[in-house]
Amino acid sequence: MPKNDNMLAILWMLNSGVKLTAKQISEKLEISIRTVYRYIDALCASGVPIVSDAGHNGGYSLLNHFIRAPLLFDLEEKKALLHAAVFAKEAGYPLSEALGNATSKLKRYSNQEQERILSRHLSGFEVINRMGDPSIQPVLAELEQAVEGEYSIEIDYRSGHEQQTRNRVIDPYGMVYWNNKWYTVAFCHLRQAIRSFRAERILQIKRTQLAFKRPEAFSAREVFMQNLWPDLAGKDGIISLVIGGRSEALDDLCLHWFLGHHLKERTSNQAIFLLEEQSLHRYVPYFLLSYGKSIQVIEPQSLKEQLVAVASELVEYYRL
């Protein structure tokens, strides 16, 4: 740990109000006792009122609690930040190492009682997420730096419907975490338009000498969601999907990552969705088959027929 971090750590340890010996400080920070003496002298020289008591019950303490809690966070704020860090780490946050260092400092700069309470809260709080590919971390880190530094990057990208990779130059305007995946919303020089690129499909990435200026008030979230689910108001070919069934199954459908966005109405025994005809017949049958007999498509008839066709294809496939 850098010298300044160690000195600040000593300061917060003494701020707990407990008298500490040089040996206790050295063990906690994993530094030599001689280094502790040197840091204590440096703190005293800078004006920190450290009291040194000799003898069997001696040690170091701060005069009249030199540092006050409002300079950092109260216990509830610390707990909230540590819990949020758990979510971020499980999502594959690109600056996980820095985040880990920050949370370690947060716990270290707490008094003993606060540290005990925080440890108890953290031991009972866990987040389970899909295991991400570790190779995506360098990509996320490079994307984050490009967004912050406003410089273009060159990527080798493979889209979901193409096997071959394409080389593109993009201006990453922002990053979005959605449905357990990371995306960058960027201006694509090839298409001359704003596109969304899934981070795990970026096979190579390198910075360029080109700079860009992100549009004022640009929201990566808004653009991403608009591309994912365009406004259906006034569009032709919109069909009502009416589904009945068990209440638990309908609740689950209403929270589905795709269908939930198109929910129009939910009654005690039915859920009504509004979808484009193409999406209805292309994607929805595969979403519904896993629910088995717990749900029933009431309308349209065309979706019932499509479900029969998809199920028949699966039966024939597994008969081979």
Q: Do 256 and 173 reside in the same domain of the chain?
A: no
State how far the Cα of 15 lies from the Cα of 50, in Å rounded to an integer: 10
Number of domains within the chain: 4
Which tokens sit at 11?
């300061």
Domain region containing 310: 238-319
The mean pLDDT values, 10 residues at a time, for the chain of 320 residues are: 80 81 90 90 80 84 61 75 86 84 76 78 80 80 93 91 86 92 94 94 94 93 86 75 95 92 91 91 93 95 95 90
Q: 51, 67, 83: which is the final residue of a domain? A: 67
Q: Is residue 47 part of a domain?
A: yes
Q: Is residue 129 part of a domain?
A: no
Which residues are registered as beta bridge partners of 222? none
Q: Is residue 281 a part of any domain in this protein?
A: yes
The answer to the question of residue 128 being in a domain is no
Closest CA relative to residue 117, chosen from 67, 82, 66? 82
Same domain, 311 and 247: yes
Residue 64's pLDDT is 66
Report pLDDT for 145. Answer: 93
Q: Which of 67, 51, 61 is nearest to 19 (CA)?
A: 61
* Residue 193 sits in the same domain as residue 243: no
Render the burial of 76-95: b for 16+ CB within 10 Å, e for the rest: eebbeebeebeebebbbbbe
Return the CATH number at 163.
2.30.30
Residue 282 CA: distances (Å) to CA of 48, 181, 236, 288, 299: 69, 22, 17, 12, 16
